[in-house]
Structure 1
């Protein structure tokens, strides 16, 4: 059920019987020479709306700009400062609680948002307003993601490429896949010396490790792999929503002081 398609009367019927909302959250930022800057919010919205379709739960409009200053050197990247993002998402969530929602799933497709959505969830939980969870599609199916590609990567790599090949093939620059690989960091390793020393992460911006902002080998991606990943992760999201919806409200409130 997509909120923006319905009248206020129809939405009142939903809030009378349900208390869960799905909120897709992404970014608008560089994803290399082969993928659109819409990549993250397209993926987030696709998962959220599919889960809402399968479950009947409410899906809100997508938050399309997130915390992305680490991609700022690349043309067109948009971002908001982290404190502003946290405050905005907290306010958005409390808008939903005003209508009776007390459990929220942030369907997130941008790594830069993760810690901030967790903080939003903390605020809402501590105040007793709502129980909000941050969900990342690839983290729900890590083994399948890793087994699907020879050289995976966290940004603009084969997993995201496969997803957009499946969801929006018209937006993939197929003739730029090799350039994306060759001018990026194809053999990405989070523990490599160029990324970490003595246990400390040594870079702030993606351009410091990848000239085109890409990590992983995109030439291993296909729409068929994207579909397999999409179906598997959607199953995980549906199960999460159903689990959360069934929990007693008392189990969602902060525990008393010992």
Structure 2
């Protein structure tokens, strides 16, 4: 159920019996010469809508701009600073709590958002407002990603390319796949741009001249369909699990005895 398509009485019927919502989040940032800047938020929204269509749960509008300053050197990249992103997402999610939602899944498709969504989830849980967790599609199906691609790449690689081939085929520039591979970094090793254990880089351009990683020529629409269905299955299972949990089991445990301020 997509929130923005409903009327307020219809949403009243929903929260009278349900208390779970899905919030898709991505970014608007460079994804090399072959993929649109919309890549991350297209993936997040498509997965969120597919999973909630199957479960009947509520899906909110997508947060399209995320924490992406590490891609700022490339034309068109948009970002918000981390504190403002956290505050915005927290405020929006508290709106849902006001309407009766007590558990949320952040369906996230941008790595730069992860730690900040975790922080928002902690804030909401620690003050007893709700239970909110971050879910990243490719982390839910690592074995399949490894099976399909020798060089999946952490950004703009064949896994994201295949997903967009499945979701929005006309937005993939097929004639630039080799350029993406040859102008980027195929293998990003663990010690890449590290000195004596310190990570010495901040921005994507320092690791790949065109901003992307992996071998994009391995991507196919069929692989994208397989990734999409597998990730959707995982998200559906997560929603069903979360919906079944008693809220008291999800919120922060109490302080060990004796309780703070309790007289012995």
Normalised by the shorter chain, which TM-score bucket?
Answer: over 0.9
Larger Rg: 2
Deviation, structure 1 residue 185: 0.3
Ranges in structure 1 where 5+ consecutive residues have no aligned partner: none
Distance in 2 of aligned mates of 1:126 and 1:187: 40
Match of 1:222? 220
Question: Matched residue of 2:86: which SS?
Answer: helix
2:70 pairs with 1:74: no
1:121-172 deviations in Å (ceiling 9; x for gaps): 0000001001001000000000111111121100000000000011101000
* Count of aligned pairs: 256
**Secondary structure at the residue paired with 1:77?**
coil
Alignment of 1:6-85 (within 5 A): 6-85=6-85
- How big is each residue's C-alpha offset from its partner over 1:80-139, in whole Å with a ceiling of 9 and x where there is no partner? 000000000100110000000000000000000000000000000001001001000000
Name stretches of at least 5 consecutive residues in structure 2 with no aligned partner. 257-264
> Matched residues in 1 for 2:157 and 2:236: separation?
25
Query: Which digits, 9 at most, give the CA deviation of each residue in 1:228-252, with x for residues without a partner?
Result: 0110111100000010011001101
Paired residues of 1:152 and 1:188 also in contact (CA < 8 A): no
After superposition, where does 1:241-256 map in structure 2 within 5 Å? Answer: 241-256=239-254
| Pairwise CA RMSD | 0.7
Matching residue of 2:232: 234
CA distance in 1, matches of 2:56, 2:24: 15
Question: Does residue 207 of structure 1 match 2:205?
Answer: yes
- The CA deviation at 1:201 is 1.4
In structure 1, how many angstroms separate the alpha carbons of the residues matched to 2:12 and 2:232? 27
If the length of structure 1 is used for normalisation, what is the TM-score?
0.98
